Structure 1
Amino acid sequence: MAEVLPIDAVFIRTDLEKVIDRMGTKRSSIKDIPVGTLVKEVGAISNCLNTGDIQDQVLHLTDGSTTRIEVFPMEEGGEIKGAVGIISRSVHPIIRHFNVISEIVEDVSGEGALTWITDTEKNLAFNASEGVPLPDSIKVGNKPEAFALQTMKKGKKDVLDIGAEMYGVPLKIWAYPLVNEDSQVCGSFGVIMPRRNAERVKRMALNNEQSIGEIAAVVEEISATAAGISESEAKLFDMIMEINNISEEINAITEFVNEVAAETKLLGLNAAIEAARAGDAGRGFGVVADEIRKLSEQSRSTVKAIKESTDQIQNLLGVAKESSENTAKSSEEQAAALEEVAATLSELSASAEKLKRISERI
């Protein structure tokens, strides 16, 4: 019956001197206390026979296992004739299922993994994927690595990042203490994973962040230039309008001068007629009349030339005004477009920062 029990255990029976019978379960790995062992060599059995009390001892071994010895006295006719005992051994479930756990970890890790397990004194086992660097010191039987000892000392999970300078590949290490049913640390379990992809993502994020920053600076400079151009165009437009107003005033003055010239010519003509009537006495007056007519003609010619020039200026001002309005409109559109670009760059910068933080957590 004992053989089919799904535990790692041995059942023993003794007389007052030695172990006389022993039976182990199919899963039993216990080699201690064989038949013939003297009862005085086993404290729990010796105490049970001497006191008649049930003995229950628990031994936490350095290999992460726990051995429990329970001994019960056998009485016959009111006298102790011997004892029966159960020696059971339990192993931490992570130690027992280490290979299965290692395979699962390896399958879910994108770049492979190295898993290890230790008791409090030595490395018990490890599994490493191809391509994952294996430190020379991680060997079965060797003293646990510093990070394993540290997590056992602290009694809580530890996470480490190691740069590529040590093993040629950036690594991330997770170390966990193993705790038995009595809440005592009995070993450690850990995973080492390469972080090549995470480092690539981090570098990409940093490069993107730097590039976005440079582009944003250029956009800001262009935006400031566009704002300056827009302001200059506004001032230029005001100057064009002022010149146009002055040109219109000049046209008004030339019209007035033209009218004066016409009246002067008429006055000179009348003076010439009167000089002709006066004969020799009005000859000097006639000379003056001729000069007045010449001055009138010159004035009219000058006014015409000024009018043509101001008309040409107004035409050019019209073209400049239209060009200025178009430039101002383009500057406003450019400024609006740059604001959209700046907003997009801000979003990209935030995404790059988020990507960097994610890569650090991988």
Structure 2
Amino acid sequence: MISINELNGLKSYFETQSKLAKNRPIYIITEGDIITWKNDSDVFDIDALKIGVKMRSETSAVLAASQNKVLTDKVPEFVYGRKLLVNSIPIVNGEGNAVGALTTLTPRLHPIAAAFNHFAPILAEMFPEGVILYMTDLKKYTYKQSSSSFSLPVNEVGDKFKEDDISFEVIKTKKMIIKEVDAGKYGIPLLVACYPLFDEDNQNEVMDTFGMVIPKKAAAQLREMSENLDNGLTGISAAIEELAASASQIHENEQVLNVDIKEIISLSDAINQVSVFIKEIADETKMLGLNAAIEAARAGEAGRGFGVVAEEIRKLSEQSKSTVPKIKELTDNIKNTVDKVIAQSNSSLSSSQEQAAASEEITASIQEITSMAEELNRVSKQL
């Protein structure tokens, strides 16, 4: 019980206490069922409770005065928009009759909410990429703590959340929810986790939610790099396959060229054989011309015309014979040139074979790297 004479001293005490108390309570004094004095805190107030307001008969303040005893009550959220712990102490006059009550209204906090301001600043700095820790009641954001390396100008304390908010879904389903948010909404991809916090007196009733917003910048960069790597390797692999196909075609062309060159050599050998045959004919023709000239000289005047013919035959024989070395020189030059081409062709043929083999090895290596890039992409999506 509190004596009416003690009220003035208590008012001064409560005005100081409301600023120092951990849960920032509201103090009210009622006379009968009318609020005659109120002291709210700097962070917590209930607009419905104002000086001059008449309290309902079922409230703790009215019942404490009417029953002349101390009462404690847990007020659900729908009454004043906040779960409250209410303590009402009767105020008695000099005759000991209750004339009113002193009521303390303290926000009922989940243990995590009560400790949030103590653990959140420490926990927020333990995430390498940063984090936003937050809490909500059933309608709005009540706490927020950002790390020094990451913050977003959203979901500020006092902001009401909408039906598409993860907290609304958690309250509705009474289950933990973890989801990814793409970069289109906040500029960077995020991982959002939200947990329901149940009333200690009713484990089936969600009282608050506790959430974390974690940036996935490194994972996004890793995914982008792996995708770029995958795309680049795909293009390189296609180019290598085309190069391998070209190398195979070059190899086939070199083989055909090698065969053609061998045919040219065979033709050069045939020309040399014809040259030898021409030389033999020229030698024979020269001998026949010489014999004919001798016979024409013996025949005297009658063989003069025949002698002229024999002389022309010998000249033609000499000319034919002198042509043979030139033909041989040309065919030898052709053969030497062809020999060089053969050597180059063989070298090119060997190189094209090595190129084709190297292309196949490169293609196999790129396929292996591509497989690693795909695995890297899969891992980045799990971060």
Q: Is the TM value for this pair above 0.5?
A: yes
Provide closer, same or farther for how the CA distance between residues 43 and 166 of structure 1 changes in structure 2, counting only shifts above 3 A. closer
CA distance in 1: counterparts of 2:251 and 2:234, whole angstroms: 25
Number of the residue aligned with 1:252:
273
Find the partner of 2:238 among 217, 236, 250.
Answer: 217
Find the partner of 1:312 among 333, 340, 344.
Answer: 333
TM-score, length basis structure 1: 0.68
Number of the residue aligned with 2:135:
117
Number of the residue aligned with 1:188:
209
Provide closer, same or farther for how the CA distance between residues 165 and 38 of structure 1 changes in structure 2, counting only shifts above 3 A. same
Contact kept, 8 Å, 1:247 with 1:314, in 2: the verdict is yes
In the alignment, structure 1 residue 130 sits paired with structure 2 residue 130:
no
- 1:217-236 CA distance string (max 9 Å, x none): 33233333322222222221
Number of the residue aligned with 2:29:
none
Number of the residue aligned with 1:230:
251
Deviation at 1:192, TM superposition (A): 0.3
- 3-state SS of 1:184 partner: strand
Number of the residue aligned with 2:39:
none
Deviation at 1:144, TM superposition (A): 7.8
Contact kept, 8 Å, 1:206 with 1:352, in 2: the verdict is yes
Contact kept, 8 Å, 1:119 with 1:188, in 2: the verdict is yes
Contact kept, 8 Å, 1:233 with 1:324, in 2: the verdict is yes
CA distance in 2: counterparts of 1:244 and 1:183, whole angstroms: 100
Contact kept, 8 Å, 1:151 with 1:177, in 2: the verdict is yes
User: Which amino acid is the alignment partner of residue 249 of structure 1?
Assistant: A
Deviation at 1:312, TM superposition (A): 0.6
In the alignment, structure 1 residue 357 sits paired with structure 2 residue 378:
yes
TM-score, length basis structure 2: 0.64
Find the partner of 2:352 among 325, 328, 331.
Answer: 331
- 3-state SS of 2:145 partner: strand
Provide closer, same or farther for how the CA distance between residues 332 and 280 of structure 1 changes in structure 2, counting only shifts above 3 A. same
Contact kept, 8 Å, 1:123 with 1:139, in 2: the verdict is yes
Q: How does 1:147-158 map to 2 (within 5 A)?
A: 147-158=166-177
| Structure 1: runs of 5+ lacking an equivalent | 1-31, 45-57, 68-89
Deviation at 1:194, TM superposition (A): 1.6
Deviation at 1:101, TM superposition (A): 6.7
Deviation at 1:309, TM superposition (A): 0.7
User: Which amino acid is the alignment partner of residue 337 of structure 2?
Assistant: L
| Structure 2: runs of 5+ lacking an equivalent | 1-59, 86-107
Find the partner of 2:189 among 170, 174, 178.
Answer: 170
> Cα RMSD (Å) of the superposition?
3.8
CA distance in 1: counterparts of 2:253 and 2:294, whole angstroms: 61
Provide closer, same or farther for how the CA distance between residues 244 and 149 of structure 1 changes in structure 2, counting only shifts above 3 A. same
- 1:141-195 CA distance string (max 9 Å, x none): 8558811111332343333333444334432212233457876252433210122
CA distance in 1: counterparts of 2:68 and 2:311, whole angstroms: 162
